[in-house]
């Protein structure tokens, strides 16, 4: 399992950087402004790594080809993958909340 996570991190990070280059047109370096720190390509690298790791851990791929494909897809679209994890969590909490409201007070 650790080997799968390391492979997912590596592939997801590379794909995150490629996604950054596609989105911005070039590799932007990290820089500091007066109000905040802009991480540049490091931000997309980290997001790609985290998204690939989360997807591999949640799906538990059975083959190395499945692992590579999942890592490529999640690393390239890292922000969307992380948003979908947040959406699933919100949806589950809303379902649990609606179940509480649908019950009669005598149950």
Distance (Å, rounded) from C-alpha 13 to C-alpha 17? 6
Q: Phi and psi of 31, rounded to 5°?
A: -150, 160
Model pLDDT, residue 11? 92
Lowest mean pLDDT among 16-20, 43-47, 67-71, 76-80: 76-80
What value, to the nearest 5°, has the Cα angle with vertex 27 and ends 4 and 42? 45
Say what the pTM is: 0.69
pLDDT per residue as tens digits for the range 16-59: 898 888 888 898 888 998 888 888 889 889 988 988 888 888 88
Distance (Å, rounded) from C-alpha 48 to C-alpha 31? 20
> Mind spelling out the 3-state secondary structure of 60-105?
CCCCHHHHHHHHHHHHHCHHHHHHHHHHHHHHHHHHHHHHHHHCCC
Model pLDDT, residue 105? 53
Q: Which residue has the higher pLDDT, 85 or 65?
A: 65
Beta bridge partners of 79: none
């Amino acid at each position: 399992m650790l080997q799968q996570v390391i492979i997912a991190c590596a592939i997801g990070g590379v794909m995150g950087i490629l996604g950054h280059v596609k989105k911005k047109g070039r590799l932007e370096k990290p820089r500091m402004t007066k109000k905040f720190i802009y991480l540049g390509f490091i931000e997309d690298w980290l997001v790609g790594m985290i998204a690939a790791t989360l997807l591999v851990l949640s799906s538990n791929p059975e083959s190395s080809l499945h692992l590579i494909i999942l890592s490529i897809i999640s690393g390239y679209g890292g922000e969307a993958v992380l948003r979908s994890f947040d959406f699933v969590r919100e949806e589950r909490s809303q379902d649990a909340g609606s179940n509480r409201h649908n019950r009669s007070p005598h149950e």
